[in-house]
Amino acid sequence: MLSQIENSYQEFDLREKGFSDLTFFIEELLSYTKDDYFVRVPVDAYRSISARYVHTWWLQRAVYRADPAHPFLGSFAPFVEIGGSFESNLFLLMRFAYNTRDRILEKHRRYQIRSGFLFEDLIKNDLVHLGFTVLGIKRIQRKEFDVVTTRNGIIHNFQCKNVRLDYQQMESDIKTFIRHNKRIVRYFERALRKEEAREALLIAKIGLREIRHYVISRFPVFSENKRIIALRDLKRVLGGV
């Protein structure tokens, strides 16, 4: 399974960024699988295996260490030390692998661009099912647009934002989380104002007088602005517009 992930994202150099080492690490640990699911590795064996991967950036994240200030803080670490062994299971190991993959990919500019296009396609598909007509407008007078649609004689213009918010900070550092959330919301609101300032281009191109602008965020943010919509809420918010 891990080799399939590596091959699927071969163009983004997962192998060179530490994912190949993670694959070998997990494969070594799987020899301690019990009942085809649980993984129980004796402390000495785990430390011996880990010694071969001390050069990796992800190794310190593999074992859960409780933060005294935040003892119930969520973690993607697959292992916890209990008595004389390190305990995990196949689900936790795969979750850790996927999280490691995501951390590598989110720093890759080409992947960010590719995932942005895929995100737009996902939104288009959802909007079609909600009764919107997706237009092929991407650029007018050198001004670029993400997803432009019409429904019931109204232009609906969507900006697609693939900005991630670290939700773990809600527990570990709430002040930083609030600051980052506000920064992202301000960014989204600037995007809305930008669309409003150039809406005349769409009105002239399409020939309809009424227009509405939205920001669709792949990841939810906390905002009272009803035009900032999380992807997961798209159907609920726009199903009856």
CA distance 67 to 87: 19
The 3-state DSSP class for residue 160 equals strand
Q: Distance between CA atoms of 13 and 232, rounded to whole angstroms?
A: 30
Amino acid at 13: D
Q: What's residue 112's pLDDT?
A: 74
Mean pLDDT, each 10-residue run in order, the chain (241 residues): 72 77 94 96 97 94 78 77 94 93 80 80 94 95 96 97 79 83 96 97 97 95 95 89 59
Domain boundaries, the chain: 2-105, 109-238
pLDDT computed for residue 155 by the predictor: 98
Evaluate whether the domain defined by 109-238 bears CATH number 3.40.50: no
Q: What is the pTM of this model?
A: 0.70
Angle, CA of 147, 102 and 124, to the nearest 5°? 15
Pairing of strands 228-230, 211-217: parallel
The pLDDT, as a whole number, for residue 5 is: 74
